[in-house]
Amino acid sequence: MKQYFGYFYRIGFLGATFSLLTFFLSTFFTQDPTLISKVFSFIITPIFVGAGIYFYRFKIKQNQLSFAEGMTVGFIIYFVNAFVTFLGIYMGLIFSKNLFENIKSNMMQVLIEKKQEIINTLGNPSYEKTYQEMLKLSIFDIAITDFIFKVAFGLFFTIIISIILRKT
């Protein structure tokens, strides 16, 4: 299986390339590209993970796939995708402080708009704590949030796809 890891790294890099293109191209259409990036990741992750597992099962293993093999292939793909996207977003926001400030101000605006709803649901101390935490939002926070979403989506979809495609 190790000899085929190169294929899966490439699939992960391809997914990361699409994710980064979506993130940075969406800045032309919206001030906060994080939501579009998450939606795109939710769509593209199962496609790339599924394609990688499908390729491994039908092209390499002659129609055989264990659950563990599917999980390994999926992990490589979604982790490479998440890590490369994390690095790309982090570096991109470091070099584009305006974009970071736009994202932060948009998140603050949403928090302010939802103030009464948050206070009614969770109480004023929760809102104030959230507001203070949002003031400390950093570039790393935005990049790591994207990384965590990609890993969570990737794990979820890898489990489902590995169960569906396994055949021993």
Residue-level pLDDT, tens digit, the chain, 168 residues: 677 788 899 999 999 999 999 999 999 988 889 889 889 988 999 999 999 999 888 888 888 888 999 999 999 999 999 999 999 999 999 999 999 999 999 999 999 999 999 899 898 898 999 999 999 999 999 999 999 999 999 999 999 999 998 876
Q: What is the pLDDT of residue 93?
A: 95
Domain-located, residue 135: no
Domain-located, residue 132: no
CA distance 112 to 100: 18
Domain-located, residue 161: yes
Q: How far is CA 95 from CA 39, 71, 90, 114, 134, in A?
A: 24, 36, 9, 31, 21
Domain count, the chain: 1
Task: Return the structure tokens found at 79.
Answer: 């982790």
Show the domain range for 59: 2-95+140-165
Alpha-helix residue ranges (DSSP H) falling in 26-66:
34-55
Domain-located, residue 41: yes
What is the residue whose two structure tokens read 């939002």?
137
Q: What is the pLDDT of residue 58?
A: 87
In this structure, are residues 165 and 57 in contact, taking their beta carbons and an 8 Å threshold? yes
Domain-located, residue 101: no
Q: What is the pLDDT of residue 25?
A: 93
Q: What is the pLDDT of residue 106?
A: 92
Domain-located, residue 14: yes
Domain-located, residue 133: no
Domain-located, residue 120: no
